[in-house]
Amino acid sequence: MRQYPIEKYRDIGIIAHIDAGKTTVSERVLFYTGISHKIGEVHEGQAIMDWMEQEQERGITITAAATTCFWTPIRLTHKAKDDEERQELKQKYEHRINIIDTPGHVDFTVEVERSLRVLDGGVVVFDGVAGVEPQSETVWHQADKYKVPRMCFINKLDRMGASFDNSFQSIKDRLTPDAVAIQIPIGLEGNFEGVIDIIEMKAYGSEGEHGEKIIEKEIPAHLKAEAEKRRAELVEKVSEQDEKLTEKYLNGEEITVDEIRSALRKATINNKLVPVLCGSALKNKGVQLMLDAVLDYLPSPFDVMELKPIKGVDLKTGEEIIRTTSDSEPLTALAFKIATDPFVGSLTFFRIYSGVMKKGSYILNSVKGNQERVSRIVRMHANKREEVDEMYAGDLGAIVGLKNTSTGDTLCDPEKPILLEKITFPEPVISVKIEPKTKADQEKMGIAMHRLAEEDPTFRISTDQETGETIISGMGELHLEILIDRMKREFGVGANTGRPQVAYRETIKDEAEGEGKYIRQSGGRGQYGHAKIKVKPLEKGKGFMFVNQIKGGSIPQEFISPIEKGIREALDKGVVAGFPMTDIEVALYDGSFHEVDSSEMAFKIAGSMALQEGAKKAKPILMEPIMKVQVITPVNFLGDVTGDLNSKRGRIDAMNDRGNTKVVDAKVPLSEMFGYATKLRSITQGRASSTMEFDHYEEVPNNITQQIIEGRKK
């Protein structure tokens, strides 16, 4: 039986820049909703949502943790006279909230990507001192890509240097002009006492050891004018979104609290407005009101149907079909994460879009084309599990022990198969050679890497063809460091690693033709393959396109695919320095064959030769990953920091003030950034900090290209 109607579900993610306080917010949510009975602090390594050892040691979130909790609006319950009335309100207004706490560190961007794909709404947390930071922008653009309605929570307003106005302005300037404040703080820094709800025009403070009791009070006299001004702005913005309200507003009629709420909800769900709230999670202020706002403004699975319809392809007919969010529809679910659990084995996290999933039933993996049995379904509470018999549309849960399912696969009803859109992941930018320490580690290492690659689609394993060494690739130094650490702890694998390598790419700047002839005639059956191609550059990010222009049968159909294979293999090896080629179109336009001697092998080699010849003529170049770097430094070290960035071939984009520090934004090649954190500490006496994330690929200067080519030959 379904406990809560679908309208009372909220599937939300907590997303933000590193260190904005996401996990602390999640911890408070768990505490206030009664899921946990003690508050775990991140800095003490006790946070429930950060349950991996590596997370506790480093004080960062690595893997997205899912949890379920329940909430009744506090603005209703805090007025209840006794427990009986409180219970009645609960029965009537309680909602189920499924929360995913995502990592902020850009190396784990995959976690944010796949979480946003399955969530209906997001709470974006900001540091009240720093406001919008580079990764806040990245996460925001990821949410734009998946059309996720969101609201903002400006956290840490109790810190020195916190400013609600500056943070709010930075959201408006750098992320969206549609942000509207629905709360303002009472006092800042050490004097931060609570928040003013400008929709209701009431002030709220809190009492109790952990701020669990909400107190309603009068708005302080010195803030009345500010609250009035903000409310007028809010009413104006909200009334623009609704014709009836526009009319009321222009006629100077009073717009009621309920009208504001319902119009703001509608506008938030359609991504027209973004409500902004404030508080301090560490000091237990503002979190309960933020939960109220989640219920008020973020969508239920039912509300996002128009915005993000559940589109898929019917496997039987190949036509597009749209499913509605309902239990009566056929089962449609998406596996968005695989985790290895030491006690139960593999856990496949899924989101149900429509239908019901029952324990003991069979489901079809429409990507792989095989059926699997659902042996156990669990509802996740961070790292604890609750077994359930069935789950319904809108639920997030996990299945234990699926054999062949990977991230992004569609799970559906075998009778009514559907294929949902896959999740796309960014390409890795950094590689490291890895070898087992002992013979015993060798076997274990293969299993461990396979398991970790199942979990993390941005972690790639390959073999260097020339040396036979194993190479692992990922999103950054920290990413690979944690994966190697996990191998050691979870799988007991000791490994040595080489120096990090940059994932260079090659491409061409010009159009050219290439011809490949492979002829071996030596008594008996020979080999004959002959292909002519045209190569031309594609725009960035397009990858590889193969065009077959053969007319009239100069090459039989069965040899076309081997030619393409040969071309693809040649692309992997490149022509400048042996790095993979990308953003290139190859058109096969002519060739010839021999009745007897032609074979697939010969045409494969001819395709590879033609590509090498064509690419060498088409001005091939080497590309390198450029990183977006932000350094926050005290003013007196500014000259040293910028001088050091310039020496690393960096381009400085902007310098801004933040309190008494300088914020430097720059673009720097990744190859120059290894060990930067240590270097920065030494030139600024440990007072500066930096963040870095991948931005784009760019051509390598000639002199550096020569160095790379020579380095590859050694």
Digit-coded pLDDT (tens) for 553-604: 788 888 888 889 999 988 888 888 888 888 899 998 888 888 777 888 888 9
- The C-alpha angle with vertex 42 and arms to 64 and 677, in degrees rounded to 5, equals 85
Q: Name which residue leads in pLDDT, 486 or 513.
A: 513
Give the CA angle between residues 490, 494, 500 to the nearest 5°: 100
Q: Categorize the per-residue pLDDT at 44 as very low, low, confident or very high, splitting at 50, 70 and 90.
A: very low
- Cβ-proximal residues to 522 (8 Å cutoff; 6+ apart), any chain: none
CA-angle at 700, arms to 697 and 704, nearest 5°? 145
- Distance (Å, whole) CA 579 – CA 645: 27
Q: Which of 30-44, 247-261, 285-299 has the lowest mean pLDDT?
A: 30-44
The predicted structure's pLDDT at residue 35: 59
Looking at residue 285, the DSSP 8-state letter turns out to be: B
pTM of structure:
0.71
Residues 6+ apart with CB under 8 A from 164: 128, 154, 157, 184, 185, 188, 278
Residue 42 has pLDDT above 70, yes or no: no
How far is Cα of residue 170 from the mean position of the Cα atoms in its chain?
A: 22
Summarize the confidence of residues 462-483 as an average pLDDT. 78
**DSSP letter, residue 109:** H
For 380, the token pair is 């996740």
Strand partners, 186: 194
Q: Rounded mean pLDDT of the chain?
A: 81
| Range of weakest confidence among 128-132, 135-139, 362-366, 673-677 | 135-139
Which tens digits make up the pLDDT trace of 4-38? 888 888 888 888 777 767 667 777 777 777 655 44
pLDDT of 498 higher than 50:
yes
pLDDT tier at 39, thresholds 50, 70, 90? very low
Q: With a cut of 70, say whether residue 47 has pLDDT above it.
A: no
Is pLDDT of 550 > 70?
Answer: yes
How many beta carbons lie within 10 A of that of residue 327, not counting itself? 15
pLDDT beyond 60 at 45:
no
DSSP string, 440-469: HHHHHHHHHHHHHHHH-TT-EEEE-TTT--
Q: Which of 33, 58, 64, 32 is nearest to 43 (CA)?
A: 58
Q: Match 């909602």 to its residue by tokens.
A: 95
More confident residue, 59 or 431: 431
Would you state the structure tokens that stand for residue 470, as one six-digit string?
Answer: 């194993």
Q: Which amino acid is at 311?
A: K
The predicted pLDDT at position 64 comes to 52
Q: Are strands 620-634 and 689-699 parallel, antiparallel or unpaired?
A: antiparallel
**pLDDT at res. 131:** 82
Which of 30-34, 170-174, 672-676 shows the highest mean pLDDT?
170-174
Q: Are 633 and 708 in contact (CB under 8 A)?
A: no
pLDDT at 667 over 90: yes
User: 345 to each of 295, 296, 337, 402, 411, how far by Cα in Å?
Assistant: 35, 38, 14, 9, 19
pLDDT category at 344 given cuts 50, 70, 90 is: low
The dihedral sign for the CA sequence 389, 390, 396, 400: positive
DSSP for 593-615, please give it: --TTTB-HHHHHHHHHHHHHHHH
Average pLDDT over residues 461-489: 79
Contact between residue 473 and residue 670 where contact means Cβ atoms under 8 Å apart: no
Looking at residue 643, what is its pLDDT?
Answer: 92
Residue appearing with tokens 């508050």: 39
Compute the distance between CA of residue 47 and CA of residue 56 in angstroms, rounded to an integer. Answer: 8
Q: Please give the Cα distance from 455 to 470 (Å, whole number).
A: 19
Of all residues in the chain, the percent with pLDDT exceeding 70 is 89
Backbone φ and ψ of 570, nearest 5°: -65, -35
In this structure, of 40-49, 279-288, 315-324, the range with the lowest mean pLDDT score is 40-49
pLDDT of 468 higher than 90: no
> What's the one-letter identity of residue 237?
K
* Residue 58 structure tokens: 């480093």
| Residue 161 vs residues 129, 353, 367, 487, 637: alpha-carbon distances, Å | 6, 44, 51, 41, 20
pLDDT tens figures, 61-113: 455 557 777 888 877 777 667 778 778 877 788 888 888 767 655 566 666 77
More confident residue, 427 or 266: 266
Could you tell me what percent of the chain has a pLDDT over 90? 4
Cα(83)–Cα(86) distance, integer angstroms: 5
Whether 344 contacts 325, CB under 8 Å: no
CB 99 within 8 A of CB 12: yes
Query: For residues 162 and 185, what is the distance between their CA atoms, to the nearest angstrom?
Result: 11
Which of the four pLDDT bands, split at 50, 70 and 90, describes residue 666? very high
Looking at beta carbons, which pairs linking 339-344 to residues 24 or more positions away fall under 8 Å? 339/63, 339/398, 339/455, 340/451, 340/452, 340/454, 340/455, 340/490, 342/490, 344/376, 344/385, 344/400, 344/401
